[in-house]
Structure 1
Amino acid sequence: MSVSSNSAPFSRATVRAMQRLYPKALADNSWDNTGLLLEAPFDPARRRSNKVLLTIDLTRAVADEAIALDSSIIIAYHPIIFRGLKSLTLENTQQQTLLRLASHGISVYSPHTAVDAAPGGLGDWLADIVTATKTNRVSGDLENNKGNVAQSVEQDDPFVDKKPPVFTLHNHPSQAINRSSRGSASSVPHSRRPIVPQTPELASHLGAGMGRVVTFDEPQPLATLLDRIGKGLNNPKGFPIAIPQNKTISDISISSVGICAGSGSSLFSGLKCDLLFTGEMSHHEALAAIENGQVVISLFHSNSERGFLGEVLRDQLEEAITEEWDKVRTEEEGNEEIKEALGDEGFDVLVSEVDRDPYGIVILKGDAE
């Protein structure tokens, strides 16, 4: 049986689901490269399982995982292709990954900044963390225990007490979020808006735009926000923070937060917020911010994005694929070439277990002197 000129029908349903959830029109198409980046032809004789693998970065390890899982399609948040290609060879590691996936019949879709901009997307997920929206990870009532939290942070505040660190190499876990741990705790009263609103606005995605600004009704202790962020990210071993040199963590209250997943430097230019919450900022940009009296929290680039896959996108995609897969099966009914594939009603949306940020944290054990 010959190879089809189309991709697998289930892969097509998945692409339609992603385009419905996160239209390409929401992406920053002035530089980004989103959409279906690799469309592997469908071979009925080598049909793959109806499995979607979610990842932030498409590395060789993730490609191996997708092949081993018998996945039909990978949703890779970061595009593996950014610029035009003049050739596809095995010498380049990224091109090697693409060629291997194509040979196994696995397609690749990348939504990137469309996810950042969409309402209910990455920007709102990070805003939910700082506002304690939709999470019950915090033990007890933070709003009634601000003093206790501030005191516990002050005891370990590196800006106050220069004790030797006790730290091992730690990478933030790929599947950090357990969906059963999500609750419905009340949000801290606040307003939020995009830093750069979507223009023109999409009727299907009102309120879209790049980045978020959260303004609290009442100032929040920085120590409380650190607790929320740590618990919202499943308690990483640590993350960088920059504060003005004449301050300590327990001195600072936050009234407004500028938020950007990934690298937020350009989006934060000229933004007047007490706290800049992002995945990545350069030394000089962070220095300029603290000289301006601002606080910077940086999570390492992809650690500001990865938890979204298991906590939000998986559920969204399962619901959207259910509808789109039913439509594709109805539209293609009677197509004998793909009859067997259409008969497989079930599917799985999985989060990569090997995807991780290239940076980990080295934690020194014992006396560092």
Structure 2
Amino acid sequence: MFAKGQTVIQYMEQLAPKHVAMPDDKIGLQLGTLQKEIHNVLIALDINDDVIEEAIKLQVDLIIAHHAIIFRPLKQLQTDTPMGKLYEKLIKHDIAVYISHTNLDVTEGGMNDWMAEALGIENGSPLEDLHTEELSKLVVFVPKTHHQQVLDAILGAGAGMIGDYSHCSFNIEGYGTFMPLEGTEPFIGKLGEIERVEEIRIETIVPQGIRSKVIQVMLKAHPYEEVAYDLYAMNLKGRTLGLGRVGKLNKPMLLSEFVEVVKKNLQVDHVRVVGDLNRTIRKAAVLGGSGSRYVSPSIYRGADVLVTGDIDYHTAQDALMAGIAIIDPGHNAEKIMKAKVADWMRDKLQKAKVETKVHVSEVNTEPFQFM
């Protein structure tokens, strides 16, 4: 049995929910259909002709990539243009393309956390806050006999997180009353008779991003034909997600030593460096992709160095005068996401006991050559 396309993407969106992406970011399904079985998935940073040829060879049905192939609305689709040829080849081989970009950057356990971990940044926090999760309180009434079953389902789906504590809930015993009417098939009680049942009221916290999932598993686990539950909006806010990470290194080191850590752990042969190689680095900031505008936030947060790509000449000059070092490993350093996303997806598919295979693209999509 193979996973359906929608199922594969549900797993991806558990890792990187769409609602945490930056406004107008080009994410989601960009080409093809998910209404099919997925035999092979390819995880890629970019999509170019070599990546598509790789996908064809592997008989891939779905490519999950970080960088979009459609950046702005298409006015026409000409197959004699470079991009048009790519779209044509993907369509002819029935290869769907799904993009997970800033939502993968922002999410906990995503791109910027992976990069921070690789560089030895401990307890990193966002450089720029983008999204604070809305919280709801879920209240559901469950017969005493099925209390643990429903509670386990709700908390297992991720509800009940308060700070660094999981599985938080409050449970109150009481009695529920109801009368089954004509046309109902009650789990407990008889038609036309008032029933009085020992029930437990479960209260817990549900973040916005998993609200639908929690409700779905709760309804599935609950024995009643009609489930009595409420969702209350709360003034309290949940976790704050954002771009980049900043924090102390696991041990101080010279900038020259930190450069070698960056090269080794982000798998790049060359970097551009701004700053005194003999200065000591204690606190570092990192941001996948283009981070020129994050120099000032890095300084504000007390970072000694910012690791990010696509630094321009004038930004480098400003950073040098401001006293913050920069290490630019290039935009392509984000390729760290390929193996990480693949590991996540394989784990989910194995637990689902499906035969869908996940491949990591081996194509080097770095456009620059270093002479």
TM-score, normalised relative to structure 1: 0.66
Alpha-carbon distance in structure 2 between the residues aligned to 1:15 and 1:262: 23
Q: Which letter does structure 2 place at the counterpart of 1:227?
A: E
* Aligned partner of 2:263 among 200, 206, 230: 230
Alpha-carbon distance in structure 1 between the residues aligned to 2:294 and 2:343: 29
Q: Which letter does structure 1 place at the counterpart of 2:329?
A: L
1:240 aligns to what?
Answer: 272
Larger gyration radius, structure 1 or structure 2: 2
* Percent identity of equivalent pairs: 28
Residue 264 of structure 2 is aligned to residue 255 of structure 1: no
**Pairs within 5 Å for 1:177-216:** 190-201=122-133, 203=207, 206-216=239-249
2:19 aligns to what?
Answer: 25
> In the comparison of the two structures, how many residue pairs are matched?
266
1:314 aligns to what?
Answer: 342
2:359 aligns to what?
Answer: 350
1:35 aligns to what?
Answer: 28
2:169 aligns to what?
Answer: none
1:281 aligns to what?
Answer: 311
Q: Secondary structure of 2:75's partner?
A: coil
Distance 1:41 1:95, change over 3 A: farther
Deviations 1:274-310 (A, max 9, x none): 10101221111111101111111011111x2002211
Distance 1:217 1:351, change over 3 A: closer
Alpha-carbon distance in structure 1 between the residues aligned to 2:321 and 2:65: 37
Q: Say whether the 8 Å CA contact 1:13–1:321 is kept in structure 2.
A: no
Higher relative contact order (CA 8 A, sep 6+): 1
**Pairs within 5 Å for 1:167-178:** none
Q: CA deviation at 1:41?
A: 7.1
Q: Say whether the 8 Å CA contact 1:241–1:298 is kept in structure 2.
A: yes
Q: Say whether the 8 Å CA contact 1:191–1:216 is kept in structure 2.
A: no
Q: Say whether the 8 Å CA contact 1:261–1:279 is kept in structure 2.
A: yes
1:266 aligns to what?
Answer: 293
Distance 1:122 1:32, change over 3 A: same
Q: CA deviation at 1:218?
A: 6.2
Q: Say whether the 8 Å CA contact 2:3–2:39 is kept in structure 1.
A: no
**Pairs within 5 Å for 1:123-162:** 123-131=112-120
2:93 aligns to what?
Answer: 104
Q: Say whether the 8 Å CA contact 1:123–1:259 is kept in structure 2.
A: yes
Q: Secondary structure of 1:199's partner?
A: strand
Q: CA deviation at 1:116?
A: 0.6
* Aligned partner of 2:66 among 77, 97, 108: 77
Distance 1:41 1:17, change over 3 A: closer
Q: Secondary structure of 2:261's partner?
A: helix
Residue 66 of structure 2 is aligned to residue 67 of structure 1: no
Structure 1 alignment gaps of length 5 or more? 1-7, 133-189, 327-344, 363-369
Q: Which letter does structure 2 place at the counterpart of 1:36?
A: L
1:183 aligns to what?
Answer: none
Alpha-carbon distance in structure 2 between the residues aligned to 1:269 and 1:86: 38
Q: CA deviation at 1:66?
A: 0.8
Distance 1:56 1:16, change over 3 A: same
Q: Say whether the 8 Å CA contact 1:239–1:299 is kept in structure 2.
A: yes
2:197 aligns to what?
Answer: none
Alpha-carbon distance in structure 2 between the residues aligned to 1:216 and 1:75: 32
Q: CA deviation at 1:25?
A: 1.1
Which structure has greater strand proportion?
2
1:359 aligns to what?
Answer: 368
* Aligned partner of 1:16 among 10, 15, 23: 10
1:330 aligns to what?
Answer: none
Deviations 1:36-74 (A, max 9, x none): 11123768xxx8x61111111110111111112100100
Q: Say whether the 8 Å CA contact 2:5–2:35 is kept in structure 1.
A: no
Q: Secondary structure of 2:342's partner?
A: helix
Alpha-carbon distance in structure 2 between the residues aligned to 1:209 and 1:320: 25
Q: CA deviation at 1:348?
A: 1.3
Structure 2 alignment gaps of length 5 or more? 135-206, 211-238
Alpha-carbon distance in structure 1 between the residues aligned to 2:118 and 2:257: 11
* Aligned partner of 1:305 among 324, 334, 355: 334
Q: CA deviation at 1:224?
A: 2.9
Q: Secondary structure of 1:71's partner?
A: coil
Q: Say whether the 8 Å CA contact 1:10–1:72 is kept in structure 2.
A: no
Alpha-carbon distance in structure 2 between the residues aligned to 1:9 and 1:290: 51
1:220 aligns to what?
Answer: 253
Q: Which letter does structure 1 place at the counterpart of 2:7?
A: A
Q: Secondary structure of 2:42's partner?
A: strand
Q: Secondary structure of 1:98's partner?
A: helix
Distance 1:68 1:212, change over 3 A: same
